[in-house]
Chain A
Amino acid sequence: MILDGKCPTGPIEQTWDKHRFDLKLVNPANKRKYNVIVVGTGLAGGAAAASLGELGYNVQAFCYQDSPRRAHSIAAQGGINAAKNYPNDGDSIYRLFYDTIKGGDFRAREADVWRLAQVSNNIIDQCVAQGVPFGRDYAGYLDNRSFGGAQVSRTFFARGQTGQQLLLGAYSALSRQIKAGTVQMYNRREMLDLVVVDGVARGITCRNLITGELESYAADAVCLCTGGYVNVFYLSTNAMGCSVTANWKAHKKGALFANPCYTQIHPTCIPQAGDYQSKLTLMSESLRNDGRCWAPKKKGDNRPPQQIPEDERDYYLERKYPSFGNLAPRDIASRAAKEQCDDSRGVGPGGRGVYLDFADSIKRLGEDTIRERYGNLFEMYEKITDENGYKTPMRIYPAPHYSMGGLWVDYNLMSNIPGLFVLGEANFSVHGANRLGASALMQGLADGYFVIPYTIGGYLTTVKPGQVKKDHAEFKKSVEDVNKDVNRFLSINGKRTVTDFMRELGGLMWENCGMARSKESLETNLKKIPALREEFWKNVKVSGSGAELNQQLENAGRTADFLEFGELMCRDALHRNESCGGHFRSEFQYEDGEAKRDDANYCYVGAWEFKGIGVEPELHKEPLKFENVHLAVRSYK
């Protein structure tokens, strides 16, 4: 099947405005007759639930945490991009559009990216109105910093806690709607199934994480805003509860999964310290505004960093990419760090680390300025490593951070299942094969505040409200199916814990489908993952009962889904015989080690259709057309 993204045609500058006008509207008095489910309350979900509630729809919102404010968007540090051009340094909507298409290594849709760039400016205004305390100068104007993959300063920030402040803005708007009664909030609920009736999304099945009860919720449309899947690597910068579960359940009900092999490995994270470790911590990309990445020139150089003289240091990003320097995009900076370590020039335990050094900036600007810019990050670094980043260079290493792949959606953010919308990181739409820094916050809020409020109306005008109620047979069947899984987990009573399995799967994914992949490594995983999955269903140990708060059971469900999803990710990576963005196949590279795309054969979105567990999925293609930005070898030299 050739997929149609339903992108508007014509001059790119007019596409979104024209499309918005063409979308049918729901009359204000009719909006309250429609129920909309929003799963997840991060930037995309929080903004969507608040905006749809304000428009007058009946919204039911769900999150697995005890408060919508805790979604993992909260952890984003550095900033949010917008094409405001406040610094007068040459930015424009077109340039943000261009940078994002190029940054994504020409694997995203032009129309979607244009819209993102266009609404980016509205987002900043919206957040300011909510009381988000963005960084400002003494005259009172909004301040900007630079991020990777751009030569302009277009990143707005709130100290090192931009994600927190933007999420609290969306959360406050959501709280206002909860108070107004337009949004019914369900905390501590995990979505465990999508209910599809006659091919149309009609609701969800949730587990109440406190009582263990399985609950049905019906609606006229379902929005998944459930984030990304890089916890498939077990160790990542994601929160412990982040999972592929909501997306995977929708996939098993027919939603296509697009480009699952596009995962972002963030270059600047604190290196792993031991086998017991449960997560990795990011050090914001903004640090590369003032920090310089280097590794010793000599192999196995064990001297403390201060004792390595200047001419024996390799500032590898400045050397390889002089025009972008330390602000090379993430995929490129990560691979460069790995290259140094693979060449036995890594530092710290196990030689898996490089330095991020602030000495020059401290000399130039003073420690106080650096503290003011990044104080909380230096504090966080010290708490974890017991080292003072002002005195000695930070040690960093790449870690899984974000997933560009996700459920396939059309221009209206609707999946191939009518009535199922997917927003934010959970969809695949704008970042192509690599996301630029400070663009995730932009996308989440764009989808939630400024896209879904328009596009969902276009869909709802085509359906009669309240057609399917939760007493429908499909809802009952869904609850029975989920219940079967719960009982199956509890009845195995094997020898290995859930964490033990997840750690093994994560190891396989990182080793064979991580920063570099090859035909051989992927084929290894395609043998090992099904075997591990089989063992899981025979030998996992989950104690307690289903009718209570049971964290083992929650993790067992997420792990079971990752064990199925991991296989799809490897399959996608194996089929894509090219390197692009975060997907680096070691067989496909230029002599200097840069990624080698194959536009003749792979300039498409690869969207997979579920055919059964362990059964080969079917690939559908959506060809990508580039009419405004010309396909070219991506260079940051």
Chain B
Amino acid sequence: MSDHKTMTLTLIVWRQKNANDPGKFETYTAKDITEHHSFLEMLDCVNEDLIQTGKDPIVFDHDCREGICGMCSQVINGAPHGGQDRTTVCQLHMRKFKDGDTIYIEPWRARAFPIVRDLIVDREGLEKIVQAGGYTSCHTGGVADGNAILIPKPIADEAMDAAECIGCGACVAGCPNGAAMLFTGAKVSQLAILPQGQAEAAVRVKNMTKAMNDCGFGNCSNHYECQAACPKGINVKFIARMNREFLKAQFA
């Protein structure tokens, strides 16, 4: 099946044994890569070679490999997920590179995301933000019929635009302040837009904002790097919406 032309690439990859290790860049060669390889499949090939030569393979997070689980998390040539429009690392294909390219691969870098090993970081902070209030407090069972509250399409659509977030953390990695405002803003907005989320809107935005600060995430200074990095194209208008909700909550 592989009658395609192949590429040879130089990879400069961040290697770090554990959280305490200072870490450093190492150089590897990726051979026989076709344009149909995904970026992670290219790394798989490099790893197979490393294992065969008795070296530690490059450790990276990945799972669904179809752009939806949010597990993969690499900064490629300085851009989270490689900088292609609305694309996760796992959906990035090697046709975007050319023979002889040198590629830098690093983990997410942010104060709130300590490195676990090589390209894997700890994103527990995002969990804490959701736990602080990223839900409606409905009980299992005992809820109204799905059509009891009418939600016109444009409203449902806008909530869906915010809800698409995959929780990968690229917005934090892309932000010069290491802020999680786009992540938090998307969840706050989804539930603030929908009638189901109204009852707890004020307490939600306050608690989630506090959790965001407590976890060591930075603040927004309008660079919009988060939107550029977001593989789902979540709009920064949701940060503005969160700020409005936050302000409103002070008077609630």
Residue positions of A touching B, CB distance < 8 A: 47, 50-51, 54, 65-67, 69-70, 72, 74-75, 84, 86, 122, 124-142, 158-159, 161, 164-165, 168, 171-173, 175-176, 178-179, 185, 187, 210, 237, 239-241, 272-279, 281-282, 349-350, 379-380, 383-384, 386, 449-450, 453, 497, 499-500, 541, 543-544, 548-549, 551-552
Nearest first, the 5 A-B pairs at minimum CB distance are A140-B150, A172-B135, A129-B143, A129-B138, A133-B159
**Nearest CB of chain A from residue B161's CB, rounded to whole Å:** 9
Residue in B closest to A82 when the chains form the complex, CB atoms: B146
Query: Is the beta-carbon distance between B67 and A380 smaller than 8 angstroms?
Result: yes
Interface size bucket, B side? 35 or more
CA gap between A50 and B153 in the complex, in Å: 29
Please give, as numbers and ranges, the residues of chain B lying within 8 Å of A165 by CB-CB distance: 160, 163
From known contacts A158-B160, A172-B130, A175-B127, infer whether A69 and B146 are also in contact, taking CB-CB under 8 Å. no
From known contacts A278-B65, A380-B66, infer whether A67 and B1 are also in contact, taking CB-CB under 8 Å. no
**Nearest CB of chain B from residue A598's CB, rounded to whole Å:** 38
**Nearest CB of chain B from residue A61's CB, rounded to whole Å:** 12
Query: Is the beta-carbon distance between A125 and B145 smaller than 8 angstroms?
Result: yes
Please give, as numbers and ranges, the residues of chain B lying within 8 Å of A51 by CB-CB distance: 140
Residue in A closest to B117 when the chains form the complex, CB atoms: A549
Residue in B closest to A159 when the chains form the complex, CB atoms: B160
Residue positions of B touching A, CB distance < 8 A: 1-2, 4, 18, 34-38, 40-41, 44-45, 48, 51-52, 54-57, 59, 61-71, 86-87, 91, 93, 95, 116-117, 120, 122-124, 126-127, 130-132, 134-141, 143-147, 149-157, 159-160, 163-164, 166-167, 190-191, 194, 196-197
- B156's contact among A136, A178, A239, A272, by CB below 8 Å, is which? A136
Query: Is the beta-carbon distance between A161 and B164 smaller than 8 angstroms?
Result: yes
**Nearest CB of chain B from residue A210's CB, rounded to whole Å:** 6
- A126's contact among B55, B95, B143, by CB below 8 Å, is which? B143
Query: Is the beta-carbon distance between B146 and A239 smaller than 8 angstroms?
Result: no
- A499's contact among B44, B67, B149, by CB below 8 Å, is which? B44
Query: Is the beta-carbon distance between B136 and A161 smaller than 8 angstroms?
Result: no
> What are 28 pairs between A and B in contact, CB < 8 Å?
A70-B71, A72-B63, A74-B69, A74-B70, A129-B138, A130-B138, A131-B135, A131-B190, A133-B159, A134-B156, A138-B153, A140-B149, A161-B164, A173-B135, A240-B64, A241-B63, A274-B34, A274-B37, A275-B2, A278-B44, A281-B65, A380-B67, A383-B91, A384-B38, A449-B141, A450-B140, A450-B141, A543-B54
Residue in A closest to B2 when the chains form the complex, CB atoms: A274
From known contacts A67-B126, A133-B194, A240-B62, infer whether A139 and B152 are also in contact, taking CB-CB under 8 Å. yes
**Nearest CB of chain B from residue A554's CB, rounded to whole Å:** 11
Query: Is the beta-carbon distance between B163 and A139 smaller than 8 angstroms?
Result: no
Please give, as numbers and ranges, the residues of chain A lying within 8 Å of B145 by CB-CB distance: 125
CA gap between A379 and B1 in the complex, in Å: 25
- A133's contact among B91, B130, B156, by CB below 8 Å, is which? B156
Query: Is the beta-carbon distance between B134 and A66 smaller than 8 angstroms?
Result: no
CA gap between A131 and B135 in the complex, in Å: 8
Please give, as numbers and ranges, the residues of chain A lying within 8 Å of B41 by CB-CB distance: 276-278
Please give, as numbers and ranges, the residues of chain A lying within 8 Å of B64 by CB-CB distance: 70, 72, 74-75, 239-240
Query: Is the beta-carbon distance between A273 and B146 smaller than 8 angstroms?
Result: no
- B146's contact among A47, A142, A178, A241, by CB below 8 Å, is which? A142
Please give, as numbers and ranges, the residues of chain B lying within 8 Å of A140 by CB-CB distance: 149-153, 155-156
Query: Is the beta-carbon distance between B150 and A135 smaller than 8 angstroms?
Result: no
Known: A140-B151, A175-B127, A185-B127. 5 other contacts (CB 8 A): A126-B140, A138-B154, A276-B2, A277-B41, A386-B95
- A497's contact among B35, B51, B55, B167, by CB below 8 Å, is which? B51
- B152's contact among A124, A138, A178, by CB below 8 Å, is which? A138
Query: Is the beta-carbon distance between A239 and B138 smaller than 8 angstroms?
Result: no
Please give, as numbers and ranges, the residues of chain B lying within 8 Å of A124 by CB-CB distance: 146
Query: Is the beta-carbon distance between A141 and B147 smaller than 8 angstroms?
Result: yes
Please give, as numbers and ranges, the residues of chain A lying within 8 Å of B134 by CB-CB distance: 172, 175
- B1's contact among A70, A75, A349, by CB below 8 Å, is which? A349
CA gap between A69 and B159 in the complex, in Å: 19
Count of chain A to chain B residue pairs whose CB atoms are closer than 8 Å in the complex:
224
Query: Is the beta-carbon distance between B123 and A66 smaller than 8 angstroms?
Result: yes
Please give, as numbers and ranges, the residues of chain A lying within 8 Å of B156 by CB-CB distance: 133-136, 140
Please give, as numbers and ranges, the residues of chain B lying within 8 Å of A272 by CB-CB distance: 1
**Nearest CB of chain A from residue B180's CB, rounded to whole Å:** 14
Residue in A closest to B129 when the chains form the complex, CB atoms: A175
Please give, as numbers and ranges, the residues of chain A lying within 8 Å of B124 by CB-CB distance: 66, 187
Query: Is the beta-carbon distance between B150 and A552 smaller than 8 angstroms?
Result: no
CA gap between A307 and B199 in the complex, in Å: 58
From A75, A136, A278, residue with most partner B Cβ within 10 Å:
A136
Query: Is the beta-carbon distance between A239 and B63 smaller than 8 angstroms?
Result: yes
- A128's contact among B59, B120, B196, by CB below 8 Å, is which? B196
- B51's contact among A72, A125, A383, A541, by CB below 8 Å, is which? A541
Please give, as numbers and ranges, the residues of chain A lying within 8 Å of B71 by CB-CB distance: 65-66, 70
CA gap between A383 and B90 in the complex, in Å: 10
Please give, as numbers and ranges, the residues of chain A lying within 8 Å of B143 by CB-CB distance: 125-126, 128-129
- A168's contact among B18, B61, B138, B163, by CB below 8 Å, is which? B163
Query: Is the beta-carbon distance between B62 and A129 smaller than 8 angstroms?
Result: no
CA gap between A236 and B146 in the complex, in Å: 34
- A175's contact among B65, B135, B151, by CB below 8 Å, is which? B135
From A125, A129, A138, A168, residue with most partner B Cβ within 10 Å:
A129
Residue in B closest to A71 when the chains form the complex, CB atoms: B69
**Nearest CB of chain A from residue B237's CB, rounded to whole Å:** 16
From A179, A277, A383, residue with most partner B Cβ within 10 Å:
A383
**Nearest CB of chain A from residue B73's CB, rounded to whole Å:** 9
Residue in B closest to A128 when the chains form the complex, CB atoms: B146
CA gap between A47 and B139 in the complex, in Å: 11
CA gap between A142 and B151 in the complex, in Å: 8
From known contacts A129-B196, A130-B196, A499-B44, infer whether A84 and B159 are also in contact, taking CB-CB under 8 Å. no
CA gap between A210 and B41 in the complex, in Å: 23
CA gap between A320 and B136 in the complex, in Å: 48
Please give, as numbers and ranges, the residues of chain A lying within 8 Å of B194 by CB-CB distance: 131, 133
Query: Is the beta-carbon distance between B196 and A131 smaller than 8 angstroms?
Result: yes
Please give, as numbers and ranges, the residues of chain B lying within 8 Å of A126 by CB-CB distance: 138, 140-141, 143
Please give, as numbers and ranges, the residues of chain B lying within 8 Å of A349 by CB-CB distance: 1
Query: Is the beta-carbon distance between B63 and A276 smaller than 8 angstroms?
Result: no
Please give, as numbers and ranges, the residues of chain A lying within 8 Å of B132 by CB-CB distance: 179
Query: Is the beta-carbon distance between A136 and B151 smaller than 8 angstroms?
Result: yes
Residue in A closest to B66 when the chains form the complex, CB atoms: A281
**Nearest CB of chain B from residue A478's CB, rounded to whole Å:** 27
- B116's contact among A237, A275, A549, by CB below 8 Å, is which? A549
- B57's contact among A122, A172, A187, A551, by CB below 8 Å, is which? A551
CA gap between A122 and B55 in the complex, in Å: 53
Please give, as numbers and ranges, the residues of chain B lying within 8 Å of A282 by CB-CB distance: 66
Query: Is the beta-carbon distance between B66 and A69 smaller than 8 angstroms?
Result: no
**Nearest CB of chain B from residue A183's CB, rounded to whole Å:** 10
**Nearest CB of chain A from residue B44's CB, rounded to whole Å:** 6
Residue in A closest to B138 when the chains form the complex, CB atoms: A129
Query: Is the beta-carbon distance between A544 and B56 smaller than 8 angstroms?
Result: yes
Query: Is the beta-carbon distance between B140 and A54 smaller than 8 angstroms?
Result: yes
Residue in B closest to A178 when the chains form the complex, CB atoms: B131
